[in-house]
Amino acid sequence: MADLNRLGENRFLVLGRAGMDLYPDPPGTSIEEARRFTACLGGSSGNIAAGLARHGAQVALVTRVSQDPVGQFCLKELESYGIETSYVTTSTGETRTSLALAESRLENHQAVLYRNGAADFEMSAEDVQKIDYTRFSALIATGTCLAAEPSRSATFKAFEMASAAGLPVIFDIDYRPYSWPSADIAAETYSRAADLCDIIIGNDVEFGFMAGDYDQGLAKARQLAADSAQIVVYKMGEKGAITLTKAGETQTGIFQVQALKPVGAGDAFMGGFVASLAAGHSVKDAVTRGSACASIVVSRVGCAPAMPTPAELSDFLNTHPGPTLP
């Protein structure tokens, strides 16, 4: 069992995809009616890395991007946030960096994701074996890394090497059915991964999927907290979250905001939650602060550029009521 006090060193290795996000401009415009788009860093792991960097953490990303202008855009964006890119490999051939189009509106929200031949799925065991894990205080990975080979084997190798170096392994379930060859393979792979992790974060649907029964998601979260994980956060959307540790369970609410879009909340939560643990906040307070980050991001355009700074988070917590339970 890894020592979670290491998080206080505030140096994180994040595994997974970075991509280009395009948002129709002005906000509220549909994709089919758009004539202008705002481009920014995206991808679940890229967003999480940006969220941590905004909070002052030292962050390195491990992924692959395509050898084309979209891949170069992502590298430049990562560097603009202060994210280390020495472990980002440029793939040649026909692989492509992910491209996402998402609307800044709630009603009839549409999002289109292009991931055919995704470059990040080419991440290999060689990519993760060259890393000096002793430089970092934790490894963070998203479930997307596990959806295809060779990225899946590389991720498990990274888990092994991080654990051998004494690093806590933090896992965002991040289940996206379209990335997987079958639901059975996904469920088996997620269960294998979750057994190796110290902190696991997911929503009720994702835990239910892992359990093989959507009504048994909380039971699955409880089983993981009892058997292997030190912290499990079971998110329930508007109903808040249940956090499970060896000391028991705590329920927390959400912050009500005027949301601009429905995407980015999970990545923002992870960034804010982990950054808060690193800053010495209690698990309950870290969940509350992560929830505040999620509310901030859904009220802004973009995901990575919407991640709050510590000052913005503090201002939000001081001026918004909550969090409230349903």
We report the CATH number of the domain holding residue 295 as 3.40.1190.20
Q: How many residues does the chain have?
A: 326
Question: Which H or E run includes 84?
Answer: none
- Look at residue 326 and tell me whether its pLDDT is greater than 80: no
Whether residue 173 is contained in a domain is answered as yes
- For residue 299, what pLDDT band results from cuts at 50, 70 and 90? very high
Whether residue 180 is contained in a domain is answered as yes
Whether residue 290 is contained in a domain is answered as yes
How far apart are the C-alpha atoms of 33 and 300, rounded to whole Å?
Answer: 20
Please provide the DSSP assignment of 90-128 as one string: EE-TT-B--EEEE-S-STT--EEEE-TTBGGGG--HHHH
Question: Which H or E run includes 35?
Answer: none
Q: What is the pLDDT of residue 324?
A: 87
How far apart are the C-alpha atoms of 218 and 116, rounded to whole Å?
Answer: 34
Q: Mean pLDDT across the chain, nearest whole number?
A: 96
pLDDT per position as a tens digit, 224-270: 999 999 999 999 999 999 999 999 999 999 999 999 999 999 999 99
For residues 3-30, average pLDDT: 97
How far apart are the C-alpha atoms of 127 and 155, rounded to whole Å?
Answer: 10
Whether residue 27 is contained in a domain is answered as no
How far apart are the C-alpha atoms of 111 and 98, rounded to whole Å?
Answer: 13
Whether residue 201 is contained in a domain is answered as yes
pLDDT per position as a tens digit, 173-182: 999 998 999 9
Question: Which H or E run includes 304?
Answer: none
How many CB atoms sit inside 10 A of residue 93's CB?
10
pLDDT per position as a tens digit, 166-224: 999 999 999 999 899 999 999 999 999 999 999 999 999 999 999 999 999 999 999 99
The total number of structural domains that make up the chain: 1
For residues 62-76, average pLDDT: 97
Non-local (6+) Cβ contacts of 132 within 8 A are none
How far apart are the C-alpha atoms of 65 and 19, rounded to whole Å?
Answer: 8
Whether residue 326 is contained in a domain is answered as no
CA distances from 82 to 1, 47, 54, 191, 243 (A): 31, 13, 9, 33, 31
Cα 77 to its chain centre, rounded Å, is 17
Q: What is the pLDDT of residue 92?
A: 85
Non-local (6+) Cβ contacts of 80 within 8 A are none
- Look at residue 322 and tell me whether its pLDDT is greater than 90: no
Whether residue 153 is contained in a domain is answered as yes
Whether residue 275 is contained in a domain is answered as yes
Cα 38 to its chain centre, rounded Å, is 22
pLDDT per position as a tens digit, 115-170: 999 999 999 999 999 999 999 999 999 999 999 999 999 999 999 999 999 999 99
How far apart are the C-alpha atoms of 51 and 65, rounded to whole Å?
Answer: 20
Report yes or no: 217 and 195 within 8 Å, Cβ to Cβ.
no
**What's the domain range around 78?**
4-17+47-95+123-319
Report yes or no: 269 and 201 within 8 Å, Cβ to Cβ.
yes
Q: Rounded to the nearest 5°, which phi and psi values hold at 104?
A: -95, 65
Q: Which residue has the tokens 């890393």?
A: 131
Please provide the DSSP assignment of 225-287 as one string: HHHT-SEEEEE-GGG-EEEEETTEEEEE-B-----S-SSSHHHHHHHHHHHHHHTT--HHHHH
